[in-house]
Amino acid sequence: MINTLAGHKIVDAKKVKQRWTPSIPTIVFDTYWRFAAERQAIFYRRMCGTTGPWTTDPIFQEFKFTNAYRASDRVSQYLIKKVIYSGDQSRDEVFFRTILFKLFNKIETWELLTKKLGTINYSDYSFEKIDSILSRALDKGTRIYSAAYIMPSGCSAFGFRRKHRNHLRLIEKMMNDGAPSSISKAPNMATAFDILKSYPTIGDFLAYQLVTDLNYSELTNFSEMEFVVPGPGAKSGIQKCFKSLGGLSEPELILLVTQRQEEEFDRLGLDFQDLGGRPLQLIDCQNLFCEVDKYSRVAHPEVDGSGRTRIKQKFKPIAEPLSYWFPPKWKINENF
């Protein structure tokens, strides 16, 4: 019997697969797979150096969407190559760099810190130095946080009006509590998730993102098929893709969708080129529900979901050449 963690429940993957029939998909469910196939095709066309446009789909041409695979996205690639696997590989240092980067989730903020501090290490961490750099940037009108998701301020927990100071104290608390050791010893991703979620300002969504990011490193070695927590966007996408879940929970449905990916691509006659032999994982299918929620605002405006009707981010191609490198433990880098 194969047991898979989905949300906080142990889910019998075989039983979930048997329960597919009662759920009722909508037209958006087919769009989900077409979106995944075309977004991955765009990824490979760009990687091969072809000039744009990389698709004839007018929605993809106009609006920005994340990759089918989370680890292929620009920020994840920077995190993997320039943060996690660049520098001291000791447990505490990898944890510290990863959390520091992800709380801001902005490449420009990390590069500002490295420009001013040189190598970023917990061994010579100084609240005052990092606070000074970030405060000066804010005073000049620089945005130091990504717009990808909203970070709670943490004022009630740590008392500062400027939230970056609260987040620095949050990292200090994690390090003082021995969180790197606790997470490295966690028996599964759900336990590591719970450790992260126990800290102020970290809810379900952020804890799942952070445990996924930490799992790119050698600090942990969880399967990405172990555990999933749907975020608000994914929940809206699921609502658009299914009239009824047929008694499945949202994490169970994501698990089932991930298990059925080959069957669904075949059903629709789609040629999906996976990531160097790595199929879509739970985190990827969760993200795809979020992205198809956005895509369907234009493609299927008649289908209800979160109530949002516009896609905010426009597509702007980045001039710099694209190269990809993934966690070595995945053993797929020879394919790129």
Q: What is the mean pLDDT of residues 30-52?
A: 92
Residue 15 pLDDT: 54
Residue 10 pLDDT: 53
- Whether the per-residue pLDDT at 18 is higher than 60: the answer is no
Q: What is the pTM of this model?
A: 0.93
Residue 1 pLDDT: 33
Residue 4 pLDDT: 56
Q: Which helix (H) or strand (E) holds 25?
A: strand 24-25
Contact status, residue 33 vs residue 268, Cβ threshold 8 Å: yes
Strand partners, 5: 10
Residue 290, classed as helix, strand or coil, is: helix
Contacts of 331 (CB under 8 A, 6+ apart): none
Q: What is the mean pLDDT of residues 7-34?
A: 73
Q: What is the mean pLDDT of residues 138-149?
A: 92
Closest alpha carbon to 169 in 204, 129, 127: 127
- Whether the per-residue pLDDT at 107 is higher than 90: the answer is yes
Q: With pLDDT > 70 as the criterion, what percentage of the chain qualifies? A: 93
- Whether the per-residue pLDDT at 29 is higher than 90: the answer is yes
* pLDDT, tens digit, 9 for 90 and up, residues 219-253: 999 999 999 999 999 999 999 999 999 889 999 99
Distance CA 293, CA 306 (A): 8
Residue 2 pLDDT: 44
Residue 151 pLDDT: 85
- Average of per-residue pLDDT values in the chain: 92
Contacts of 152 (CB under 8 A, 6+ apart): 163, 201, 203
Q: Which of 18-32, 36-50, 83-97, 275-289 has the lowest mean pLDDT?
A: 18-32
- The count of other CB atoms within 10 Å of the CB of residue 178 is 12
Q: Which of 37-41, 255-259, 319-323, 325-329 has the lowest mean pLDDT?
A: 319-323
Distance CA 136, CA 27 (A): 50
